[in-house]
Amino acid sequence: MTTPPSKAGTKGVPRAERERQVLAAATEEFGRNGYEATTMAAVAARVGVTKPLLHQYFGGKQDLYLACLDPVGDRLLGAVRTAMAAPSAEAPPTPLRVLDALFHALDGQREAWFVLYDPTLPPDSDAARRAAHYRGAIDDLAATGTADLLHTAGSGDPLDADALKYAWRGLCTALVRWWIGHPEQSPDAMTRRCGRILAAAWAVGGAVRLDGEES
């Protein structure tokens, strides 16, 4: 949506600032409650504006969702791409770099993860297609990373890589959900915690050969 030049909004608040407030509130509403349960009235009430003004600024509910989704999708996709760029020799393993990038990208707006990964989006809608575009791009990066990880471990089975890709998405979602319930945890603290968890998982995995027999 093309934003007109900034001018006074409600109660003397400039329009650009009011739109920023609406997007922040809507992102939290969509992230917490899902697309299906989020209402324009609830978003308007949180910001302190009227529902007609919300429609005037953003159109319908799907338009508002898309206005929230694009910044979230761009931010998360960019974070993953940067984390997977060629690392230095001293850099942490790729999975930990990606998690660290995601935590910092979501800092201050943790519910935004569930704007992108929302199972309640209407099928065959513009909202579902746009979210699928971002998820697909992130999945493509995850597929590359998991295939490289398994190749290093001696597995060339493409189904192993595909299974790990889906497991990785589930792990990220579970970690973000846990993080939302622990607001005192900073991004850096979450990265350190994940480092310990991954180290423990790798230690257990290292004790089992790829054919399923203990080493």
Q: Tell me the three-class secondary structure of 42-56, residue by residue.
A: HHHHHHCCCHHHHHH
Beta strands of the chain (E only): which ranges?
A: none
Q: What is the pLDDT along the chain (215 residues), one digit of tens a residue?
A: 333 443 444 567 899 999 999 999 999 999 999 999 999 999 999 999 999 999 999 999 999 999 999 999 999 999 999 998 867 778 788 889 999 999 999 999 999 999 999 999 999 999 999 999 999 999 888 877 777 777 666 676 778 878 888 888 999 999 999 999 999 999 999 999 999 998 887 776 554 454 554 44
CB-hemisphere CA count at 13 Å for 120?
Answer: 13
* Distances from the Cα of 105 to the Cα of 32, 108, 134, 195, angstroms: 17, 9, 15, 18
